[in-house]
Structure 1
Amino acid sequence: MSVEVVDRVVVGTDGSANSRHAIEWAAQRALRDGDPLHLVRVSPSMPLPTRSGVFRAMAHGAGFVERVRERDEDALQQEVARVRQAFPAVQVTGHLHVGDAPEVLSQIAASARLLVLGATGASAVNRLLLGGTVAAVIHHARGPVAVVPESAQESGGDSIVVGLDDSADADVVAHAAIEEARAASLPVHAIHAWSISAALLSSDVAAAAITEIDRYDEENLARLMAPAEASGVRVTSEVRHERPEDALVALSARAALVVVGSRGRGGFPGLLLGSVSRSVIARSAAPVLVARARDSVREPVDREE
C-alpha cells in the first residue's frame, strides 16, 4: 500500500539535551529546504512513576496519568515556542501522541519527508547500544531516518559521505546521498569498503583476485553515482580495504552527513549492512541518514531496552 509523503521534517523530542540538539539540526534543515517542522513527543500509555515519585503518584491516584499527560503537553508546547522564536521563518507545529514511542515514530516516518532523532545516551556504551527507541525506529521505520549525535559539528562538514555496496537498496542510498549533496551544495564522497586478511594480501593469487574485485567495486561506484552529474553534484569515490564501519566513522569527522542503507550485504558474505549502519550511527561524529525505499518492510524483532 502506498503512503502519501508530506513535505515536512518531523523530529522526536523528549526534553533531553540530545533531542534539543536534533531539533536544532532539523530546524536548520527545514529552513534550508523551505519545509515545515513538526515536533512529536510520545507520552507512554501507562506511565510509571520514578522511584522517588512513587508516593506522590499514589497520592494523585487516578489523576496521575492525567498529570503526566499535562506535563508532557506543556513541555512540548514550550519546545515549539522556543523553536518558533529561534527560527521565525520556519513553520513549526507540535503534537503529543500517546502510545509506544518506537511504534508511533516508525509510523510517522512512513509519511514524513524525514524523521530526525537525537542519538541516545551520553556514554560510549549507551551510544553503542543506540538506545531502545532509536534502535527500534531505525529497524521498523518505512521512511528515511536521521540520527543526530550531540557531538555533531555546529559548523557542518565539507562533504556528504555515503557508504555503498552491491546490495538491492544501493541505488536508493546513492540517490539519497546525491539529493542531500545537491540541497546542501556540497560534493559527495562515495566509498565501498571491505575488510581482508593481511595473510591474503601476501598471496599473489589472492592479490590478482583482489585487484579484480576492486575493479568491479570501482565500476559499481561509478554506476551508482552517475546520476550526480545531471544534478550538478561533484563526486569522488574510493574502494578501501578496511571494515566499512571504521572507514565511514573515520570520514565522519569532516562530513556534514553520512548516508548509509538500512540493510543489505557488503564486503564479505555474512556481513550485514544493517550491523554496519548500526555501528556507524553509534560512533559517527556527523549526523547519519539511514536511507530506505518507502516500501521496505522489516521483519518484527524484539526492541532493545
Structure 2
Amino acid sequence: MTIPLVVGIDGSEASLESVDWAADDAARHGLPLHLLHAATDESEASDVLAAASLRAEERAPSVRMSSEVLREDPASALVDRGRNAFALVLGSRGLGGFTGMLLGSVSLAVAARADCPVVVVRGGAERRPARYGSVVVGVEDGEGSGTAVRFAFREARVRRCTLVAVHAWSRRPVRSAVSSPARWYAPEVARRPPDQVLHDALHGVVEPSGELVVTRQVIEGPARRALLDAAAKADLLVVGARRRQGHLGLQLGLVNHALLHHAPCAVAVVPQV
C-alpha cells in the first residue's frame, strides 16, 4: 500500500492553498492524497472537507483521494497520521491566527513533533506553478542534513528542476541552530572545509548522471540570511532537523524557526533519521 501525502485543512484560505500545493505534489509523485480535518462540529467538518475535496479534484483529477475527520487536538491528530505519511502539508496560518502572526501555532507544533517531513506552504499563489524552477536545500556540517538532501533531491527530480545546495559558514565559532550546547563553541580547527561539507552531503545521494542540475553555494555568513536569500528565487526550501537528545520531538533551532516564519516560499522540515 502506497503511503499518502497528508494535508491538514481547517477551512481557512491558507489551508486551501496548502491543498493546492499538496495536490500538485501528490500528482508529481504518483501518491494518494489524504485530507485531514480535526473538529468537533460534524456539519462544519462536512462543509470544510467538501470544499477542500472539490479544490483538490479540480487541481489534480488523476490523484486518488480520501478524507477523514478526527475529534481531537489538530496538532496531535496530524502528528499521529504523520507516522504513516510521505509528508504532512500545512498552511502557514489557521483560522485561529492572530493578526500579525507569521506562523500558526498548529503548524509550528507539528513541524516540531512530526516523524515525517512537514511542508508549511508559504508565499503567494503565484509561487504554486513552480515559477522559479529550483529547490533549495540547506546543508549543515555534521550528519543532520542527509535526510533533507534526499528529500530535496526527490522533489527536484519529479519537478525536473535545479537543486541548489547551500552551506553557510563563519570564520568564528558560532552558536549552532541545531547542535547541542557541547558543540556550540567547538574549536574552529575541528570544522571541515565548507566545500568538503557540501561534497560529503551530496555524495551518494546526487550522482553526476546528468538527470538533475545541481548548483552548490558556499556562503560566508549567517545561515538564516543565506537560506532566505536563496529562497527568494525558489519554489521550495528544504531544511533538516535533528532529534532532541533524551526528549520527544525535534530540535528546530533558531534558523529553522526564522525560515518557517519568514521564508517567501514553501518550507519543508525533514527529520533526521
The two structures have a TM-score, normalised by structure 1, of 0.73
Matched, 1:245 2:224: yes
**Following the alignment from structure 1 to structure 2, what is the Cα–Cα distance between the partners of residues 170 and 161?**
13
> Which residue matches 1:120?
93
| Aligned pairs, number | 247
Select the residue among 12, 15, 19 that pairs with 1:23.
19
Select the residue among 14, 32, 35 that pairs with 2:31.
35
The 8 Å contact of residues 123 and 266 in structure 2, kept in 1 or not, is answered as no
Question: What SS does the aligned partner of 1:90 have?
Answer: coil
Counterpart residue identity of residue 194, structure 2: D
**Following the alignment from structure 2 to structure 1, what is the Cα–Cα distance between the partners of residues 101 and 171?**
29
> Which residue matches 2:215?
236
> Which residue matches 2:175?
none
More helix by share: 1
> Which residue matches 2:247?
none
Give the 5 Å matches for 1:80-119. 80-119=53-92
The 8 Å contact of residues 9 and 35 in structure 1, kept in 2 or not, is answered as yes
Question: What SS does the aligned partner of 1:262 have?
Answer: strand
Give the 5 Å matches for 1:1-305. 6-44=2-40, 68-120=41-93, 125-127=100-102, 130-151=103-124, 153-156=127-130, 157-195=132-170, 216-226=193-203, 227-229=205-207, 232-263=211-242, 274-293=253-272
Q: CA separation of 1:19/1:182 partners in 2, compared to 1, >3 Å: closer, same or farther? A: same
Q: Which residues of structure 2 form unaligned runs of 5+?
A: 173-186, 245-250
The 8 Å contact of residues 26 and 32 in structure 2, kept in 1 or not, is answered as yes
1:6 Cα shift?
A: 4.3
Question: What SS does the aligned partner of 1:108 have?
Answer: helix
**Following the alignment from structure 2 to structure 1, what is the Cα–Cα distance between the partners of residues 56 and 133?**
26
1:190 Cα shift?
A: 0.9
Q: Which residues of structure 1 form unaligned runs of 5+?
A: 45-67, 198-208, 266-271, 297-305
1:124 Cα shift?
A: 8.6
The C-alpha deviation readout for 1:255-302, integer Å capped at 9, x for no partner, is: 12111012389xxxxxx7622111111111111111124xx5xxxxxx
Percent identity over the alignment is 31
The two structures have a TM-score, normalised by structure 2, of 0.81
In our comparison, the structure showing a higher alpha carbon Rg is: 1
Q: CA separation of 1:6/1:276 partners in 2, compared to 1, >3 Å: closer, same or farther? A: farther
Counterpart residue identity of residue 225, structure 1: L
CA RMSD of superposed structures (Å): 2.6
**Following the alignment from structure 2 to structure 1, what is the Cα–Cα distance between the partners of residues 171 and 75?**
37
Question: What SS does the aligned partner of 1:165 have?
Answer: coil
Q: CA separation of 1:162/1:7 partners in 2, compared to 1, >3 Å: closer, same or farther? A: same
